[in-house]
Amino acid sequence: MEANNGTKKTRDRIGVILYVLYVVLLLASVVLFLKIAGIQLFFKPNPKIATALTPSSRARTLEPIRGNIIDCNGRILAMSCPTYQIAMDCTVRREEFAADTKKGEQREKAWQEKALALSRELPKVFPDKTADQYYKLIMDGRRNGKKYVRLGKPVDRNVYNRVKEFPLFNEGRNQGGFIAEQKNIRIYPYGKLARRTIGFVRDNSSAVGNTHVGLEGKFDYVLHGKEGKEWLKVTDAGRVQDNDSTRTRAEDGKDIRTTINIDYQDIAYRALYGEIAEETDLEGACLVLMESATGAIRAMVNLYRDGEAADFEEVSNLAIGRAIEPGSVFKTVTLMQVLSDGHIKSLEDLIPTNHGNIKGVRIAQDSHILDHERLHGTNSISVIDGFKISSNYVFGTLAVSNYSKKPMRFIENIHSYKLAEAFDFDLAGLATPTIPSPKDKNRYWSLTDLAVMGYGYGTRETPLHILTFYNAIANKGRMMKPYLVEDIEKDGNVKNMRGPALMSTICSKAVADTITRALKAVTEEGTARRLKDAKCPVAGKTGTSFGTYSGGGYKDEYGRHKYQGTFVGFFPADDPHYSVICTVFSKPTSKQFQGGGIPARAIKSLVNGLYSIDPCFQPKLTASK
């Protein structure tokens, strides 16, 4: 070889070998590069060969642990826990015994005796079959070659531990045919309590749909977490994580701290269920307890009897999902309007009784007014007396006489009280209220509409809307947004604080105080006298309305009504800490379900139950120095 300077350079042997190696490797790398490019771009393998040559490594999805739902004191309301579906391989060792010509028959007989002993134990945990039926099931399965015979429903860990110690099962899967399939499901330690509010979910891997309702459904994006992935390879010891592959860790779901106090929920449940359990004519009922200052919902009971079901269950959220004509509880809305707009100066302002007929409106005569005229020998009634006896005439008259020329003012006031919108709430399904309006071109507007709206007909409101309005009165005019989720937590640390929010100020403190006085009069001398002897003073209003039938009427052909009785108020009346509403919904019935009946009694039980445990009722004793 000639160097540049023309001198001949001799290469040593090693140099030549390394040079040749270099050239060979260089050529090999070029070939490899071209081959890779060809495989990536043009090569399509035979599927059979590809399957045969694919290494037995496979991906495993790492399931995240779904977050817990906890109450305001940290007690677990919903958590994930494994259940076990027990099954049996009835064919276990059958062929082995059959092949054993010497002792096979004897061993098969011994196995069957153990199966008989197992059959005697199984009814203790799965009582749907007798011991004989279980033995027949196992032996039929053995004869017919069934490798998977399901036994009973999924059971918890405690039962699983018992079952695996039963005769035959204690020999394991290969000897005794014991099969246990584990699956994480959602469990609710407090059973029925707040079940509809907490919601339902089958398990963390099920798709969000009809099985996800309540907080479980609305906050699935928080609770679910994020799946991870890892690759496994086969070794002599079984499948292990492939350390040459990437691994994405599962991210567990976050916890949700709700505003629910499960003790209060328990008391509220017992208070309501105790009143309605024996009432066969009731379709359902709801009770909501809200903290006045914050709008935090401390208890939400929804009891509904589905079709011909024997008992009430938490299967429908009546408190937010059913908008009904509110009845007399809406009179407070009219009262707030006339006070705020200066149409009446005080609750003692007098209105002519006019024998219970509203001028210019054709509505049934108010019999309460006739009683009032007869009892007091007068032709006038004060606003507060009309409120106490829940007179439709008084509040229809207040609406008509003050807003007939400017009905939109009346409607706008209702809108400003947030009684016409489905505000953002922590549960899906809050029904939108219905408020008629003179501007609605599809509907004829008349003075009658204004009059009936004045005493609670013609509109549709959910119990939660009504409660939010009354809570604003308890809160001196400040309307707090109802909420159920206090914060979102991870390992006990707050990640997202939610908490109270002010929606608007709907009236002055003076107006709120005046209305509170009227509401106290209702529980002391009016339609809610039943609450007079509650352990703490309650202010509130009863209301009764009728559900409509398909033709639009309030009665069916047998003259039966669908009652909707409500009591809504707050306590302690002088320094409110809680607002509460209870509504009952009847089936078509000839019985009466007034707001002053079951709802008032349920709330009295609730108030008495809370009285002994809530810190707001604790008398304070200052220690002397």
Q: Give the nearer residue to another protein in terms of CB position, either 259 or 340.
A: 259
Q: Rule CB under 8 A: is residue 266 a binding residue for another protein?
A: yes
Question: What's the one-letter identity of residue 136?
Answer: K
Site for another protein contains 499 (CB under 8 A): no
Q: Which residue has the tokens 């119990």?
A: 463
Instruction: Choose which of 243, 442, 493, 550 interacts with another protein (CB under 8 A).
Output: 243
The phi and psi torsions of 65 (rounded to 5 degrees) equal -85, 125
Shortest distance, CB of residue 193 to another protein, whole angstroms? 7
The mark string for 78-117 relative to another protein (x by CB under 8 A, - otherwise) is -xxxx-----------------------------------
Q: Is the CB of 58 or the CB of 345 nearer to another protein?
A: 58
Q: Which of 124, 153, 239, 532 binds another protein (CB under 8 A)?
A: 239
Residues of this chain, 130-149, that bind another protein according to CB under 8 A:
none
Is residue 612 part of the contact set for another protein (CB under 8 A)? yes
Segment 9 to 68, residues that bind another protein, using CB under 8 A: 13-14, 17
The residue (of 37 and 81) whose beta carbon lies closer to another protein is 81
Binding region for another protein (CB under 8 A) out of 164-172, 239-247, 322-330, 374-382: 239-247
Cβ nearer to another protein, comparing 216 with 263: 263
Q: Does 263 bind another protein (CB under 8 A)?
A: yes
Q: Determine the longest span between alpha carbons in the chain, in angstroms.
A: 142
Q: Which of 509, 576, 580, 577 is nearest to 541 (CA)?
A: 580
Contact status: 576 vs another protein (CB under 8 A): no
Ranges within 163-202 binding another protein (CB under 8 A): 182, 187, 189-191, 193
370: its two tokens? 């006739």
Q: How far is the CB of 85 from another protein (least distance, A)?
A: 15
Closest C-alpha among 205, 146, 180, 463 to residue 316: 463
* Residue 25 or 510 with smaller CB distance to another protein: 25
The kind and range of the H/E element at 32 are: helix 13-41
In whole angstroms, give the CA distance from residue 152 to residue 154. 7
Q: Does 587 bind another protein (CB under 8 A)?
A: no
Q: Is 149 helix (H, G, I), strand (E, B) or coil?
A: strand
In what order do the strands lie in the sheet containing 539-546? 297-304, 282-291, 578-589, 561-571, 539-546
DSSP 278-328: T-TTEEEEEEEEEETTT-BEEEEEEEE--TT-SS-BS-S-HHHH--B--GG
Which of 213, 262, 447, 584 binds another protein (CB under 8 A)? It is 262
Query: Alpha helices of 497-594 — where are they, by DSSP H?
Result: 509-525
Count of residues in contact with another protein, rule CB under 8 A: 43
Q: Is 492 in the site for another protein (CB under 8 A)?
A: no
Measured from the CB atom, the residue of 129 and 229 that comes closer to another protein is 229
Handedness of CA 360, 366, 368, 369 (dihedral sign): positive
H, E, C per residue of 256-289: EEECCCHHHHHHHHHHHHHHHCCCCCEEEEEEEE
Whether residue 572 has a cis bond before it, omega within 30° of 0: yes
CB of 21 to another protein, least distance (A): 12
Which tokens in the block code for residue 296? 């935090």
Task: Build a one-symbol-per-residue string for 380-419: x at contacts with another protein by CB under 8 A, - elsewhere.
Answer: ----------------------------------------
First to last CA, the chain: 112
Segment interacting with another protein, rule: CB under 8 A, options 33-41, 245-253, 332-340, 611-619: 611-619
- Of 268-327, binders to another protein (CB under 8 A) are 270
Binding site for another protein (CB under 8 A): 13-14, 17, 75-76, 79-82, 156-158, 182, 187, 189-191, 193, 235, 237-241, 243, 262-263, 266-267, 270, 609, 611-615, 617-623
